[in-house]
Chain A
Amino acid sequence: LAKTTQPISMDSYEGQEVNITCSHNNIATNDYITWYQQFPSQGPRFIIQGYKTKVTNEVASLFIPADRKSSTLSLPRVSLSDTAVYYCLVGLYSGGYQKVTFGTGTKLQVIP
């Protein structure tokens, strides 16, 4: 399972775009990149997943460069309710079994 590195914490003002970058230098060919969001006192919640280039949904965008050694989660115009911990995961069920392990995550604090 590819190891990921992301900033421990970030602060942002309301209304700004927030970009959280995750490094995964040893990502394997078949690995997908998955992001989760966790609010206090709740379990993590799936946000977005991608393999290459760009993926967008109603919550966020995920940018993945051609070498796939990093990825950037983009949250447009954040609000106070986006204050949470964001986890980046890399891995794929590949016919064997895949442990889904979480790193330390990035604690995003949105400031009024």
Chain B
Amino acid sequence: DAGVIQSPRHEVTEMGQEVTLRCKPISGHDYLFWYRQTMMRGLELLIYFNNNVPIDDSGMPEDRFSAKMPNASFSTLKIQPSEPRDSAVYFCASSFPGGKEANVLTFGAGSRLTVL
């Protein structure tokens, strides 16, 4: 397996533009997580899915953020409109369901977003 695949790796955009980040989890992993990492706030959990269903989105900062998982092999995180304070590295991760395996996450390489 190629691991968790994220795109784009780098995105530079202007304030007010829409940003879409993409993630392909590892086949067979039923959990999918979106995290955001900044120097100030560390690694924050934004939302996670189980079997394509959003379970907890309490970490999503505002209504400008939305995430979808239309099928088991694809998820998107959208920011509309983007703001400079959204600049961060966004990670996607996936894991097997159940028991201790649910805590063993495989992370993607991340998408570094810069909003000017």
* Nearest CB on B from A37, distance (A): 11
Main DSSP-derived SS at the B contact region:
strand
Interface residues of A in 79-112 (CB under 8 A from B): 87, 89, 91-93, 97-105
**In the complex where A43-B93, A100-B33 touch, is A93 in contact with B103 (Cβ < 8 A)?**
yes
Indicate if the CB atoms of A49 and B103 lie closer than 8 Å: yes
The residues of A that contact B42 with a CB separation of less than 8 Å are 102-105
The residues of B that contact A102 with a CB separation of less than 8 Å are 35, 42-43, 45
* Nearest CB on B from A112, distance (A): 25
Indicate if the CB atoms of B43 and A32 lie closer than 8 Å: no
Indicate if the CB atoms of A100 and B105 lie closer than 8 Å: yes
Query: Which A residues form the contact surface with B (CB < 8 A)?
Result: 32, 34, 36, 41-46, 49, 51, 87, 89, 91-93, 97-105
8 residue pairs bridging A and B, Cβ less than 8 Å apart: A36-B105, A44-B91, A89-B103, A93-B98, A93-B99, A93-B102, A100-B33, A102-B42
Given contacts A42-B110, A43-B108, 8 further A-B contacts (CB under 8 A): A42-B107, A43-B91, A43-B107, A44-B43, A46-B104, A46-B105, A87-B43, A98-B103
